[in-house]
Amino acid sequence: MKGSFSQFKLDKLTFRGFILSFVLAFITVTFILVNYNTLPPFVPIFNQLPWGDQRLTSTPGIFIPIAIFAAIFILNLIFSFLVYSKSPLIARIFSATTLLVAIMNFLFITRTILVVI
């Protein structure tokens, strides 16, 4: 087990992808916490729903995308760690997917907060 983790850590592309995703998630959470007191009581998170109150959630609902990202991050990290010894390419795909989700999550949260403030 320890040897497989060291192999996983030596693959710079996969490892840096997950580290960058984690850093981007940390920046997103910090951005939310810095602006949390200036947010209105309701925030538009569910933009795919019809116009009206259905799009809105209370202010703590701004953490819903972060929670979804955390679940994706943990699952992809576990899957890539398990698969890496058999196929490094699939582990790299998981890493790239996690990084893409982190970037999209960051853009969604910052855009939502900047529009609402």
Helical packing angle, 88-116 and 12-35, nearest 10°: 20
Write down the pLDDT at residue 3: 61
Q: How many domains does the chain have?
A: 1
Q: Check whether 1 has a pLDDT greater than 60.
A: no
Domain containing 8 equals: 2-116
For residue 95, CA distances in Å to 19, 48, 65, 87, 107 come to 9, 27, 19, 13, 19
Top-confidence residue, 7 or 114 = 114
Return the half-sphere exposure (C-beta side, CA atoms, 13 A cut-off) of residue 95: 23
| SS3 of residue 47 by DSSP | coil
Look at residue 100 in the predicted model and tell me its pLDDT: 97
Stretch 44-67: mean pLDDT: 90
